[in-house]
A and B are shown apart, each in its own frame.
Chain A
Amino acid sequence: MSDEILEGASLTLEQFCAVAALERAWLVERIEAGLIPAEGTSAASWRFSGATLARVRRMREIERAYDAAPELAALVADMLEEMDRLRARLRRFD
C-alpha cells in the first residue's frame, strides 16, 4: 500500500469538501469572507491543510446548534484554537 504524508496545505477545494462532507457553496462563502484560511488566490488554486478540518467542523457545529452567524462561529473557533494552544503550553508546565 502506498502511503504518502500530505504536507501542510495540500487539499484542493473539491478534495476538502469531500473529506469534510461540506457543500462547496457553504465553504466558498466563508473563505471569501476570510473566516476560513485557504492558501492561494482563487478557488482553483486554493489549498487546505488538515488543521483547517478541525476549524471547519467546529464552525459548522456552532452555526447549526445556535443558528449562529458565520462570523460568530468563526470567532468561537478562533477562541477554541487559542484555548488549544494555551492548553498545549500548560501541559508542558504540569
Chain B
Amino acid sequence: MEFKDYYRTLGVGREASADEVKRAYRKLARKFHPDVSKEPDAAERMKEVNEAYAVLSDPEKRAAYDRLGSGPPPGQDFRPPPGWDKGFEFTERGFAPEEAAGFSDFFSEIFGRMGRGQGFTRAHAGEHHARILLDLEDSFTGPTRQISLQTPKVDDKGHLTLETRTLNVKIPRGIRAGQMIRLAGQGAAVRGERNPGDLLLEVDFRPHPRLQPEGRDLHMTVPVAPWEAALGAVLPIDLPGGGELSVRIPAGAEPGRRLRVRGKGLPSNPPGDLYLDVRIVAPPADTPLAKELYEALRAEAGFDPRKEWREMR
C-alpha cells in the first residue's frame, strides 16, 4: 500500500493549525475546481486534496494519522503497525460515502472503518447510481455496452471497500444527455435487505467532433464555399444515424444562416431536429489563377464589405 502524505498534498507543515489546514484546502479547492480549473489533471488533484482534507480537518482522523508517523522511505511499501488505531472510532462527516469510497486504498484501509450499521448502509438501502459516457451514435443504434461499476461496500469487519462489477447494459434508442437509465434490481446489495435496489445510470455524451447535442436536437456547422452560399447548392450530409441526406443551401445564404432538417436529430419520441449552421469559407489566393479570379471579383463586383460597419458609431 502506498503511503499518502496528506500534509504535503495540502502544502502545510505537520504542526499546521486547524485554521491553516482549512485555508490551504480552500486555496487548492479553488485552484482545482473541476468547473473552472485550467489544470489538465484538475479532477484527479481535487480528489487527492479532498482526501487529505477529509483526514486533516477531522481531529480524530488527524490524530490517528499523526500516530502513523511520516511513512516509510520512498519506494517502500507501507503497512500500518498493529494496534495503531486502538481507541479510535471514525465517523464520516461532510463527504458522501460514495465520494469517500473513491479515495485511495491507503484511505480506505486506514479510515474505512465506518461505525457498523450507521448512516452509510441506511443511505444506500435502495437505489444506487453511476454515470455512463456514451457516443452520440449510441442514441441511434441502441447498442449493448459493457460498463464497470465500482460500488462502495462494507465488509464483515466494517471496512469500506470498492467492489468492481461488470454489467451489460442495453442502451435505449433515443437516449439523451441528462436522462437516466433505470436498471431494475441492479443496485448495490445491502446487508440485511433481501432485494437490491435499482441502479440509475446518469447519461452523458462524449464530445463529438461534428455534432453538438442540445436536448433532442443536434447542431452541426457546415463549411460552404462563397459561391455555394451565393448561388445556392445541394450538399450531401452524412447523417449521424447512418445514411446520407441531400440538403439544399438556398441562394443568398448569409454566414450563420441556420437550416433545420426536421426529425433528423436524436431518435427520441418525437425525434429531434438537425440544425445546420452555414459557415462560409473563403478559398485561399495561393495560385496565379486564384489571384486573378479575386482581382476580377474586386474589379467587377463593386462590393463594399465595410458599408454598414462605417455607420456603426
Contact = CB atoms under 8 A, between A and B. Distances in A.
A5 interface: yes
Size category of the binding interface on chain B: 35 or more
A1 B172 contact: no
Nearest to B94: A64
A50 B178 contact: yes
B92 to A, nearest CB: 10
A35 B310 CA distance: 47
B61 interface: no
A65 to B, nearest CB: 4
B181 A14 contact: no
B35 A92 contact: no
A21 interface: yes
Interface in B133-189: 168-172, 174-175, 178-184, 186
A13 interface: no
Contacts, number: 87
Given A6-B182, A50-B178, A92 B168 contact: no
Interface stretch (B72-80, B124-132, B231-239, B295-303): B124-132
Interface in B98-148: 98-99, 123-129
B202 A50 contact: yes
Contacts of B182: 3-6
Nearest to B99: A21
B180 A50 contact: yes
A92 B124 contact: no
Q: Which of B124, B126, B128, B179 has the most CB of A within 10 A?
A: B179
A1 B197 CA distance: 14
B29 A3 contact: no
Contacts of A4: 172, 181-182, 184
A1 B179 contact: no
B183 A3 contact: yes
Contact of B26 (A11, A17, A20, A65): A65
Nearest to A64: B94
A18 interface: yes
Interface in A1-53: 1-7, 11, 14-15, 17-22, 49-51, 53
Given A3-B169, A14-B126, A66-B26, A80 B35 contact: yes
B214 A88 contact: yes
Contacts of A5: 172, 174-175, 179-182
Contact of B178 (A3, A17, A51, A60): A51
B181 A7 contact: no
A93 B183 CA distance: 37
B202 A2 contact: no
Contacts of B212: 88, 91-92
Contacts of A69: none
Interface of A: 1-7, 11, 14-15, 17-22, 49-51, 53, 58, 60, 64-66, 80, 83, 88, 91-93
Given A3-B170, A4-B181, 15 more contacts: A1-B168, A1-B183, A3-B172, A3-B183, A5-B180, A14-B126, A18-B123, A18-B124, A19-B127, A50-B178, A51-B178, A65-B26, A83-B35, A92-B219, A92-B221
